[in-house]
Amino acid sequence: MLQLLYAATGVVVTGLLAGGAVASGALTRPAGVVAALFGVVIVLVAGFAYLALLVLFVVASVLATRYRFDVKATAHVQEGVHGERGVSNVLAHILVPCGLVLLAHFGPWQFHGAILAPLYASALSFGAADTFASEFGVLAGNARSIISGGPVTAGTNGGVSAVGEAWAVVGALTTAVVGLVLLRSLGSPYGSATLFLFTVAIAGFLGCQVDSVLGETLENRGVLTKGGTNLLSMVATVGIAAVLLALGGGYR
């Protein structure tokens, strides 16, 4: 009975959050439905700490997107038409976290929370670092190619700036700290706190750099869409996090 109540609460909360995102204009209706479905899977399988971290990432992304939106719209570097995010954007940022949760609990090589937590948080850390770098960095007015170092127009795929990189650090580090607080307060295992913070912060920032490289080399040539770039970069981020965990003894 208690488990049924927990499940029902998770479904209702997720539905309300997705509905709120649609009502506020943060997500399109189809994107809200997709977010709700994946959110339900995450909360039912992994628990409220994982859903809460995902929700906070979405909230932070929305706030960053809407910061000085008029300036971004004038320069034609805004997200969507009015700052809304569609299905492709939602899928690019939720497929990997949801996949990790399912693999951890039902995959052939099931792994415990001390491994799942930092990998999951690292995926969202990349999302925050990338969003912050893009949404705040584009306002710097200047950027350089991450590969050649030559000047490029702000908002160009593969363009980076000191301001954007600083915000990428903020996004990755904030996700690591908030993730640790949520997991600890809600009783979810996360392993070593020091290793968790280090892994999530470093992997998220490095994943953001991978995104810039893929954006310049493949997205600008039409090989990848923006969603595809984000998805591959998030997969790379999880791979980086897995290596960092191994080096730190997280699999013992």
Q: What is the pLDDT of residues 85-122, one digit of tens each?
A: 788 888 999 999 999 999 999 988 888 889 999 999 99
Residues 182-209 pLDDT 10s:
999 998 999 999 999 999 999 999 999 9
Rounded to whole angstroms, the Cα distance separating 102 from 99 reads 5
Sign of the C-alpha dihedral, residues 107, 109, 113, 115?
negative
Task: Give the angle subtended at the CA of 97 by the CAs of 53 and 223, to the nearest 5°.
Answer: 125
CB contact set of 36 (below 8 Å; sequence gap of 6+): 14, 15, 17, 18, 19
Whole-number pLDDT of residue 113: 87
Whole-number pLDDT of residue 111: 84
Q: Where are the domains of the chain?
A: 57-247
Rounded to two decimals, the pTM is: 0.93
Place of tokens 């009015």: 82
pLDDT at 45 exceeding the cut of 80:
yes
CB contact set of 25 (below 8 Å; sequence gap of 6+): 82, 83, 84
